[in-house]
Homo-oligomer: A and B are copies of this chain.
Amino acid sequence: MVSIKDVARRAGVSVGTVSNVINRPSYVSPDTRARVTAAIDELGFVRSESARQLRAGRSRTMALLVLDIANPFFVDVARGAEREARGAGLGVMLCNSGHDPAVEAEYLSLFAEQRVRGALITPADANGANVASFRRRKIPFVMVDRVEMSDELCSVSIDDEVGGELAVRHLVRAGHTQIVFVNGPLTLAQCRDRLAGASRVIKDAGLPAEALTVLEAEQMTVASGRDAGSRLLGLANRPTAVFCVNDLVALGVLQAMFTAGVRVPEDVAIVGYDDIEFASAAAVPLTSVRQPAFRMGQTATELLIEETGEDSAEHQHRRVVFQPELVVRASSPASWRR
């Protein structure tokens, strides 16, 4: 591997000069600069990031740890983050915990060893033990898609209660009185909050609590949605509307309806969450609660950069909360009658 020393020898200058040519060309006279540049090209020199980093004490890479890379929502977050990071000359290390706290822990210690500039993380363990130990290492990070209670770090999230409200209010207004909420595990704050929003609407509308039945789709994937879909068809009083914790689950439910010959939206209306591209691309385009995923990724990265930038001294930890938005499509008309 050719090093800066080889370049220096070739160009007949000291290593310091080569470094200057690379990092502050104006310090060097034009002709030595030309000589050094020529040597660099001839030798195919590439500077070693690890050496720079060792010297500088900080790296030029940030990490992004998502819960499920197969979910387009997180892919959008990642794209937003990557765009923003690349603008700031930072590389992004994108990793997938797959909801597994053990994998999460493994990655966090990898990040610590790499001395990443900071990390964006969608936490997999409910109690935040991993994150807490990560914090001890003083590595700055930003919570994504979870409000953070402590004042010690930034977070970017979406108001999930409002999301739950939007979806269920839409259904109630359309005339539904038998609604199933296919939720994810309640260990996730998002799921708890969406349920809270949904329940509140039921209550405020003066409907009995039984108007809302909750099923769980543990994995929050298409497959588990399909499964929940067939379960809900077997319920004693079959619902006329289904609200799903995300679009993957909603697509699964939609398919279960098709398979069973249940028409959407005539027999059952469906509302999803996230508004991934595939929601609008579905056979019956899905009504969905849109989350600004790309912007979340961007904003989270901005916060991280601010926290680790030159003027980091004056950085105030913040909690950015985005508002979701309901996108009504064919799967749940505004006015419904059997």
Q: Mark A91-114, 1 if CB is under 8 A from B, else 0.
A: 111111000000100100110111
A103 to B82, CA, bound (A): 12
* A52-60, A193-201, A210-218 - the one binding chain B: A52-60
For residue A182, CB closer than 8 A to chain B, the reply is no
- Name the CB-closest residue of B to A258: B283
Known contacts A79-B96, A82-B96, A91-B110; A255/B51 CB under 8 A: no
Q: In the assembled complex, which residues on chain B have CB atoms less than 8 Å from the CB atom of A114?
A: 49-50, 61, 91
- Would you give the shortest CB distance from A1 to chain B, in whole angstroms? 7
Which residues of chain B come closer than 8 Å to A115, judged between CB atoms?
1, 48-50
Known: A54-B50, A82-B96, A284-B283. A222 touches B59 (CB 8 A): no
* A113-152 interface with B by 8 A CB criterion: 113-115, 136-138
Give the bracket for the number of chain A residues in contact with chain B: 35 or more
* A239 interface residue per 8 A CB criterion: no
| Alpha-carbon distance between A251 and B138 when the two chains are bound, in angstroms | 46
- Which residues on the B side are within 8 Å of A171 (C-beta)? none
Taking CB atoms, residues of chain B closer than 8 Å to A70 are: 72, 75-76, 79, 277
Contact yes or no, A113 B75, CB < 8 A: no
Q: How far apart sit A44 and B252, CA to CA, in the bound complex (Å)?
A: 46
Chain B residues, Cβ within 8 Å of A86 = 103, 106
Taking the complex as formed, is A47 at the interface, i.e. its CB lies under 8 A from any CB of chain B? yes
CB distance from A87 to the nearest CB of B (A): 12
> How many protomers of this protein does the assembly include?
2
Residues from chain B with a CB closer than 8 A to the CB of A113 are 46-49
Q: From residue A41, how far is it (CB to closest CB) to chain B in Å?
A: 11
What string of 1s and 0s marks CB contacts (under 8 Å) between A151-181 and chain B? 0000000000000000000000000000000
CB atoms of B95 and A92 under 8 A apart: yes
Q: How far is the CB of A198 from chain B (nearest CB, A)?
A: 24
In the assembled complex, the Cα of A251 lies from the Cα of B86 at a distance in Å of 31
The 5 closest A-B pairs by CB, nearest first: A283-B283, A50-B53, A50-B50, A49-B113, A94-B94
Residues of A within 8 A of B (CB): 1, 44, 46-51, 53-54, 57, 59, 61, 69-70, 72, 75-76, 78-79, 82, 86, 91-96, 103, 106, 109-110, 112-115, 136-138, 221-222, 226, 251-252, 254-255, 258, 277-278, 281-285
8 additional A-B residue pairs with CB within 8 Å, beyond A50-B59, A50-B115, A278-B281: A61-B93, A61-B114, A79-B96, A86-B103, A222-B281, A251-B281, A278-B278, A283-B284
